[in-house]
Amino acid sequence: MTALKYWQAVNTAMREEMERDPKVILFGEDVAAPGGSFGASKGLLDAFGPERVRDTPISEATIVGTALGAAMTGYRPIVEIMFFDFVAVAMDQIVNQAAKVSYMSAGGYAAPMVIRTICAAGRRTGPQHSQNLEALFAHIPGLKVVWGSTPADVRGLLKAAIRDDGPVLAIESLVEWSSRGEVDEAEDIVPIGSAAVRTQGDDITVLSWGGAAPKTVRALEELGDVSVELIDLRTISPWDRDTVLASVEKTGRLLIVHDAVVDFGVGAEIAATVGRELFGRLRSPIERLGALRAPAPFAPHLEDAYLPQPSDIAAAVRDLVRPSDNT
Amino acid sequence: MTITPTTEPTIAVDQGLELYRSMFRIRRFETTAGELFAGGKLPGFIHLSLGQEAVATGVCSALDDHDTVSTTHRGHGHCLAKGGDLQQMMAELYGKEGGVTRGRAGSMHASDSSVGILGANGIVGGGIPMAVGSALAAQLDGKSRVSVAFFGDGAVGEGVFTESVNLATLWKLPMIFVCENNGYAELTPTAVHLANTRIIELARPYGIAVEAVDGNDVLAVLAAATRAVERGRRGEGPTLLEMDTTRWHGHFEGDPQRYRSKEELRAMTDRDPVATWRTGLIELGVDAESLDAIEAEVAAEVQAAVEVVELMAPSRADELLRDVYPEGNRA
Ligand SMILES: Cc1ncc(C[n+]2csc(CCOP(=O)(O)OP(=O)(O)O)c2C)c(N)n1
Ligand SMILES: [Mg+2]
């Protein structure tokens, strides 16, 4: 075990995968000589040279499309899109091209590629730099979406994504960039589609991931008297139904917390599935907490009001577990 | 840099006949597809490349099997010329299980990894970066493979075109951009949608090698493509070829073409690339009977393919969810 910062976990995952497999290449804006806008690819140019590690023009669509063509013809590209918001510029290449190539070619082509991007929700970067657009991509068949909230998970998921034979959107949290966590070098893969049960509990399941996950951990500190089963989903698509359903079957209650706008969010999909599968076993309605239906505001007090905070999460848990008047 | 050809293209008779067969196969395939479509046999809609055969044949004849191409909604000809199986292509148009992509992709989205066809594309310009990526892979492999993106004048208006020209030039990729300038994007003439209708002039400032070519002259196309391929294989970077050509039919089958004048429609077939090359071969001393024989063989091949395809099983509905994720790696 070693303690790594979140960004170092990203960095070592790329470095180790590039050492392991010469077909892994990396390109994007500022990733080579500058080592990444936020330093995620520090040292990789020196380690692997300018053929495999490249700075690109500011051309998000073509960065993704070029990764796709290289993936279809033998490589495993990782591309970095600086901010999650900018992924929208490459929408066609992700949604219509990369995600569909396996299906459209009836398996004749595969696109083993990773689009790494950084979500700056909570970093006061404003409407075009702080969005969480996860639901847009979770909706697309053919694409997988992962988001590690801890150094160990961001590292293990990135490695799994690089080894996956299809396109994976790997989201990273800028607010966690310098947070530290234990990483077990021997256990370095986090399988895509596997959630992590962080704490066992009986009263309620609290499910979150990505930027919201550390806030649920903090909320738990205020909830000493409630027995919470805390789950970090880790993979948004395909999500780990078995783990979530088993937990809610036990606790009878579910609170879903994400940093993306609540309406039409990933929480709705999970709630619909749990509601159908566990109808009659639920002790309270399924509740969702997320961002308000607005672009991400800039001013710190506005952004705090916009995103779910630990105190909101704790209050929602209490509301759900409070014995209702008629029982 | 503009490439100026120094010698007249020359060609051996055998190769000349192969070019003729390739172009005539496209002509016959497209004509037949148009008839089948009009007869209600093909679902959806189709875009034919009648009149543009010389571009597909000339460019693909300069390529090897391991070179890759990406193409467009008007891509049947490119796929056939690149070695795609004619019967499988036809079956794809029908949505049959025996289609090259098992009826999942159809006319506008078909691909064939066995002969380097990265795919047709339903998104104008969408396949250009894909070909650039394959050129990047070729550069990294060091195998002197080249990659081609076919696209229309309409795609020049898409950001990915300019981005891709920039990136391929910057990285000196073994990439060939082949713009089929047929004067229209759907129903809109080039002068209405591009600030400069000479596409080489739009690309030239990036420093890419460019060449404007008579896209209805298969020898000129082959010669220009061969120069571009050689540049690519020698590691000298990308080339943009602007092919002046003519779209004989409407944008899609059934397009009444009210935006084209009577004179234009009448003169359209004057530059028939197939007939031109037939004349060229006869001038080279080939007898008309040999050419008639090729035509008869191709007609029989297309007819036989249609008969087989008609009897094929439809695309399997029980496998509708297959290959959404790569095999062995499913969600
Ligand atoms: C992104 C996108 N926008 C619009 C369309 C609709 N569309 C299909 S073909 C076409 C025109 C393409 O013109 P060009 O690139 O010159 O190709 P051509 O049809 O002449 O071969 C348009 C606008 C599309 N398929 N994709
Ligand atoms: Mg056109």
Does the C-beta of B242 come closer than 6 Å to ligand 1? no
**pLDDT computed for residue A106 by the predictor:** 97
φ, ψ for residue A53, nearest 5 deg: -125, 115
pLDDT of B61-76, one tens digit each?
Answer: 999 999 999 999 999 9
**pLDDT computed for residue B11 by the predictor:** 85
| In a domain? residue A246 | yes
Q: How many domains is chain B partitioned into structurally?
A: 1
Task: Reply yes or no on whether A301 is catalytic.
Answer: no
**pLDDT computed for residue A324 by the predictor:** 57
Using a CB-CB distance cutoff of 8 angstroms, which residues of chain A are in contact with residue B159? 59, 61
Q: What is A189-257 written as a DSSP string?
A: ---TT--EEEE--SSEEEEE-GGGHHHHHHHHHT-TTS-EEEEE--EEES--HHHHHHHHHHHS-EEEE
Ligand 2 centroid distance, CA of B153 (Å): 5
Q: What is the CATH number of the domain that holds B69?
A: 3.40.50.970
Helix (H, G, I), strand (E, B) or coil at A80: strand
Domain end among A129, A157, A183: A183
Ligand 2 centroid distance, CA of B181 (Å): 5
| In a domain? residue A188 | no
Q: What is the CATH number of the domain that holds A203?
A: 3.40.50.920
Same domain, A179 and A200: no
Domain end among A183, A217, A240: A183
pLDDT of A265-300, one tens digit each?
Answer: 999 999 999 999 999 999 999 999 999 999 999 999
Same domain, A162 and A204: no
Same domain, A163 and A283: no
Does the C-beta of B230 come closer than 6 Å to ligand 1? no
Same domain, A175 and A271: no
Per-residue pLDDT tens digits of chain B, which is 331 residues long = 666 666 667 789 999 999 999 999 999 999 999 999 999 999 999 999 999 999 999 999 999 999 999 999 999 999 999 999 999 999 999 999 999 999 999 999 999 999 999 999 999 999 999 999 999 999 999 999 999 999 999 999 999 999 999 999 999 999 999 999 999 999 999 999 999 999 999 999 999 999 999 999 999 999 999 999 999 999 999 999 999 999 999 999 999 999 999 999 999 999 999 999 999 999 999 999 999 999 999 999 999 999 999 999 999 999 999 999 998 654 4
Angle between helices A213-221 and A310-321 in degrees, nearest 10:
60
| In a domain? residue B1 | no
| In a domain? residue B322 | no
Tell me the C-alpha to C-alpha distance, in Å, between residue A163 and each of A78, A192, B29, B260, B329.
11, 10, 41, 52, 10
| In a domain? residue B84 | yes
Can you tell me which atom of ligand 1 is nearest the CA of B247? 20
| In a domain? residue A325 | no
**pLDDT computed for residue B7 by the predictor:** 64
Q: How many domains is chain A partitioned into structurally?
A: 2
Same domain, A58 and A151: yes
Q: What is the distance between the alpha carbons of residues B151 and B161, in angstroms, rounded to a whole number?
A: 9
Low-confidence residues in chain A, pLDDT < 50: 325-327
Q: What is the distance between the alpha carbons of residues B279 and B277, in angstroms, rounded to a whole number?
A: 5
CA–CA min distance B128, chain A (Å): 8
| In a domain? residue B181 | yes
Does the C-beta of B156 come closer than 6 Å to ligand 1? no
| In a domain? residue B95 | yes
| In a domain? residue A151 | yes
Of the residues B79, B107, B136, B161, the best mutation for testing chain A's interface (the one with the most A CB atoms within 10 Å of its CB) is: B136
Using a CB-CB distance cutoff of 8 angstroms, which residues of chain B are in contact with residue A66? 129-130, 132-133, 136, 164, 167
Q: What is the CATH number of the domain that holds A169?
A: 3.40.50.970
Same domain, A125 and A231: no
Q: Point out which residues pair with B180 in neighbouring strands.
A: B152, B243
> CA geometry: angle at A182 spanning A160 and A248, to 5°?
65
Ligand 2 centroid distance, CA of B266 (Å): 19
- What are the contacts of B261-269 at 24+ separation with CB within 8 A? B268/B51, B269/B51
| In a domain? residue B331 | no
Determine which residue's CA is closest to atom 20 belonging to ligand 1.
B185
Closest CA to A64 of B172, B323, B126, B108: B126
Q: Is B160 on the interface with A (CB under 8 A)?
A: yes
Same domain, A169 and A43: yes
CA–CA min distance B216, chain A (Å): 29
Domain that holds residue A313: 196-320
| In a domain? residue B317 | no
Of the residues B165, B325, B329, the best mutation for testing chain A's interface (the one with the most A CB atoms within 10 Å of its CB) is: B325
In this predicted complex, what is the ipTM? 0.94
- Give the closest of B127, B166, B326 to A102, CB-based: B326
Same domain, A176 and A224: no
**pLDDT computed for residue A1 by the predictor:** 84
**pLDDT computed for residue B217 by the predictor:** 97
Same domain, A209 and A139: no
Does the C-beta of B127 come closer than 6 Å to ligand 1? no
- Give the closest of B102, B166, B329 to A57, CB-based: B166
**pLDDT computed for residue B330 by the predictor:** 43
Determine which residue's CA is closest to atom 3 belonging to ligand 1.
B124
From B52, B72, B73, give the residue whose CB has the most ligand 1 atoms within 8 Å, as the site to mutate.
B73
Q: Is B128 on the interface with A (CB under 8 A)?
A: yes
| In a domain? residue A263 | yes
pLDDT of A29-48, one tens digit each?
Answer: 999 999 999 999 999 999 99
**pLDDT computed for residue A327 by the predictor:** 46
Determine which residue's CA is closest to atom 17 belonging to ligand 1.
B152
Catalytic residue among A129, A139, A258, A301: A129
Same domain, A158 and A289: no
Domain end among A155, A183, A211: A183
Q: Which ligand is nearest to the CA of B49?
A: 1
| In a domain? residue B327 | no
Check B130 against A75: CB less than 8 A apart. no
* pTM, to two decimals: 0.96
Closest CA to A106 of B152, B327, B164: B327
Domain that holds residue B59: 13-311
Same domain, A141 and A10: yes
Q: Point out which residues pair with A118 in neighbouring strands.
A: A172
Helix (H, G, I), strand (E, B) or coil at A13: helix
